[in-house]
Amino acid sequence: MADDVLVDIRGLKKYFPLRKGLSGFSPLKVKAVDGVDLQIRRGECFGLVGESGSGKSTIGRCILNLVRPTAGLIRFGDKIIFSDGGLRSGGLKSGGIHLSYKEMLPLRRDMQIIFQDPTASLDPRMRIGEIVAEGIKKHRIVSGADIEKKTGDVLELCGISRDLSSRRPGEFSGGQKQRIGIARALALNPRFIVADEPLSALDVSVQSQILNLMGDLRRTLGLTFLFISHDLRTVEYFCDRIGVLYLGALTETGSSADIIDKPLHPYTRALFSSIPRDNPGVKRRRIQLKGEIPSAINAPPGCKFHPRCLHAVDLCAQKTPVLEDAEPGHQVACHRWRELAAAVNGETAALGI
């Protein structure tokens, strides 16, 4: 693994058994994540986008070991969090690895999560000072009288006065609650944060404030982010690199500029064609997809996107494409990406763009 890679995921799968009434579970499984390879570099913000149910949040929770994967490998720094034993990477020998609660405790200081709904993620019975101090005490970040000072410092770093630490979450607005949730995550001095739709439950007027706060904290503290969102404009603004998920599989990864301006996969083109351009001189045709996203219980064979793809051929229904390098740092999983890219370039030239 390269020295600049903090999170390394190989062949990640997470299947959930389908409950079948009171009689137990059905043999069918929901394939929430189905063979994802992903690397997140130190200090970067990696954005994960896709339709609802594409597996974005499940990937984040698997990385944090909040959900046990079905198969694959997850490495954080030089520590293997999970391996099914089927992969050999960095000298890993056969035999599964799954860190226990006790084994994960030292890593919890380095990896934290910001939840989607700040109201649901904060205990309404606790004072916000207690909420932030809970992790500080558990991991012995500081001790004694320094706990109160550390708690106040982190709250103020996130825009909440330390004088309000005795109040309960119900006394704060949604944006303030999310600031408290961010403070709770930062209290352990983490290196990596999973931001799971951190803006979606907030008013539009507050979203930019929270996003700016996260950006400031990232630069000041040198944080690494996995930013999960369905808001494409936010991902474009905030993230260095972007991965596009469809039905539990990555269709394309690359720098934000590559994904926004030079999308190669038909799904990526359709997804980002819905974003209004800041420059009215830039022409972009809106691509309308046909049909609905298939069920993750019974995904189509071959390329999962082929039933909705305007460019699908017989090969797309027969063979599953793998991520391949289109250019350095830009990967795509599509059998026809080369000819489609050539066609798009020809169309762009004809328009004089």
Concatenated DSSP letters for 30-82?
EEEEEEEEEEEETT-EEEEE-STTSSHHHHHHHHTTSS--SEEEEEETTEEEE
Detail the DSSP E strand segments found in 257-312: none
Which three-class secondary structure state does DSSP give residue 242? strand
Walk across the sheet containing 97-98 and list its strands.
25-41, 5-19, 71-76, 79-83, 97-98
Question: At residue 169, what are phi and psi to the nearest 5 degrees?
Answer: -55, -35
pLDDT tens digit sequence for 250-265 = 999 999 999 988 999 9
90 token code pair: 């960095």
pLDDT for res 79: 92
Question: At residue 209, what are phi and psi to the nearest 5 degrees?
Answer: -65, -45
Looking only at the bridges linking them, the beta strands covering 25-41 and 45-49 are: unpaired
pLDDT for res 22: 63
| Residue ranges for the chain with pLDDT beneath 70 | 1, 20-25, 86-95, 276-284, 344-353
pLDDT for res 156: 97
**CA–CA separation, 119 vs 102, rounded Å?**
28
226, 155, 221, 152: which is closest to 190 by C-alpha? 221
User: What residues contact residue 217 under an 8 Å CB cut-off, 6+ apart?
Assistant: 157, 158, 182, 186, 223
**CA–CA separation, 304 vs 55, rounded Å?**
14
* Inter-axis angle of helices 146-157 and 174-186, nearest 10: 130
pLDDT for res 350: 36
User: What residues contact residue 31 under an 8 Å CB cut-off, 6+ apart?
Assistant: 13, 15, 247, 248, 296, 297, 299
Q: What is the DSSP letter of 164?
A: G
184 token code pair: 């709770």
CA dihedral 38, 16, 57, 253 (to 10 degrees): 30
pLDDT for res 136: 95
Reported pTM? 0.89
Terminal-to-terminal C-alpha distance of the chain: 40
* Rg of the chain on CA atoms, in Å: 22
